[in-house]
Amino acid sequence: MWHFSVNVKHPICLAVDVAIDSAHQPMLALVGPNGAGKSTFLRALAGFLGEGQGGLKGAPWQRPLAWVPQDPALLPHRTVRQQVEWVMNRELKHAPELSSWIELLDAGKWLDMRPKKLSGGQQQRAALLRALASRPTILALDEALSQIDAPSREAIAGHLRQWAEQADERLLIMTTHQFEDVAHWADRVLVLKDGSVLRDDEPAAIVRSPSSWDVAALVGYVARLMLNGRRVAVKSEGVSLLPPGDVLHVPVVRHRPAGLVVRLPVEVGRRDFALSGEQPSVGDNAVNVFVRGVPVSERG
């Protein structure tokens, strides 16, 4: 069980207190817009905002955590191999536990190169390899895979989950702006905004009940409207033709190459939604549409 407590005023105001059982929830995701406090939270855990912050004891080099920031922060005067070996205090050939990572990260071809010769994605791979070489208990990645191509990123994320599941005390923490990047693998998600935790739950539970528009917008809902006196958040696939339920009279309908499109009067302006299912020949006539969505509060 890990208990993280962060309460800082600089560089932003951030108050987070969370306990997580890594044996049952080995992967934690932090989701939020720029300035939400995601990076500050990881910096506090790593010990860079004071020894009393984060809930982990000791100076940064004494903590059981390896932090990979958005900027890989590689040493420019050393090759990747030298940096990895420096962290391990032994030669890489004597570290068979890293061989699978070297293959997965496609690192063999650039191990003996310095960072300035590497692409952005290669530098992120190198920083991840160096972090794993330190044999951390907690691995904190601050959008550290953002420059890696999507197929490779998925493969790496899968192996990182396996790494986290290999020991009960291991914990993987990742930050992202995009909820969909972590929804399929995170066991638990903290939704942050303006230094506060808006939601703390499993991904599926947050999608089912985002509670507020701030959260709904972050997890993929694209519009909100008033329906039968309640505020509802909807996704583009949340609109269909006339099954039982909440029905909205829509005056503007258009045929487009993608199919029938309705324009709903959402809270800020209007938004187009493509209808699925059987499409009547309505031209520009008014039509009733069924709206599927989730109730949200007025916050945000």
| pLDDT given for residue 266 in this prediction | 83
Residues 164 and 70 in one domain: yes
| pLDDT given for residue 279 in this prediction | 56
Assigned domain for 88 exists: yes
Residues 148 and 243 in one domain: no
Q: Are strands 247-250 and 287-291 parallel, antiparallel or unpaired?
A: antiparallel
Residues 186 and 240 in one domain: no
Residues 140 and 257 in one domain: no
Residues 249 and 194 in one domain: no
Residues 141 and 290 in one domain: no
Residues 173 and 265 in one domain: no
Instruction: Work out the mean pLDDT of the chain and round it to a whole number.
Output: 88
| pLDDT given for residue 25 in this prediction | 96
Assigned domain for 229 exists: no
pLDDT tens digits for 169-184?
999 999 998 898 888 8
CA separation for the pair 199, 120 (Å, rounded): 32
| pLDDT given for residue 244 in this prediction | 64
Residues 208 and 273 in one domain: no
Exposure class string for 130-144: b at 16+ Cβ within 10 A, else e: bbbbeebebbbbbbb
| pLDDT given for residue 209 in this prediction | 92
**What stretch of H or E contains 160?**
helix 150-165
Assigned domain for 91 exists: yes
Residues 138 and 270 in one domain: no
Of the three residues 182, 213, 244, the one that is the final residue of a domain is: 213
Of the three residues 178, 213, 248, the one that is the final residue of a domain is: 213
Assigned domain for 225 exists: no
> DSSP letter at 185?
T
| pLDDT given for residue 281 in this prediction | 55
| pLDDT given for residue 249 in this prediction | 82
Assigned domain for 209 exists: yes
Residues 147 and 284 in one domain: no
Domain holding 254, by residue range, is 234-295
Residues 240 and 208 in one domain: no
Residues 249 and 163 in one domain: no
Ranges of the chain with pLDDT below 70 = 242-244, 252, 255-258, 276-285, 299-300
Number of independent structural domains in the chain: 2
| pLDDT given for residue 261 in this prediction | 81
Assigned domain for 228 exists: no
